[in-house]
Amino acid sequence: MGAYNILKVDIKCQNCSSIFMVNIQFKFGDTWQNQYLIGDLIRWGGADIGMPGLDKVKVYGISELDKCPSCQQPIFDEYEIIVEKDIIKYINPIFNLEDYDSNDGNYVIPVQS
């Protein structure tokens, strides 16, 4: 994946309801192994991917885990990270990768309606 950042987030297993932390790798902002939590401000000014200050952007992320550590059942491992005005707001599992056909699959700026 090359240089990337990490979002640390707790997720809940859909099978056993166990809650555990995952590291989600993503490429947006200064991609230099920076570590983030939900609510953090994206850093810029180095190995930048994307543009700072966007109203809203969906960033592709992939979990370092693909199975629940408790029950070993498969978990969602691809997420979109929602960033608004450079602040990480929340994540959603990705069900359709078609949105990520541009920007080398790293991020997409949603069409405002």
CA 79 – CA 35 distance, rounded (Å): 16
Residue 42 Cα distances to 5, 6, 55, 97, angstroms: 10, 11, 13, 23
Cβ burial of 91 (10 Å; 0-12, 13-18, 19+) is: buried
How do the pLDDT tens digits run along the chain, 113 residues long? 579 999 999 999 999 999 999 999 999 999 999 999 999 999 999 999 999 999 999 999 999 999 999 999 999 999 999 999 999 999 999 988 888 877 788 999 887 65
pTM for this structure?
0.92
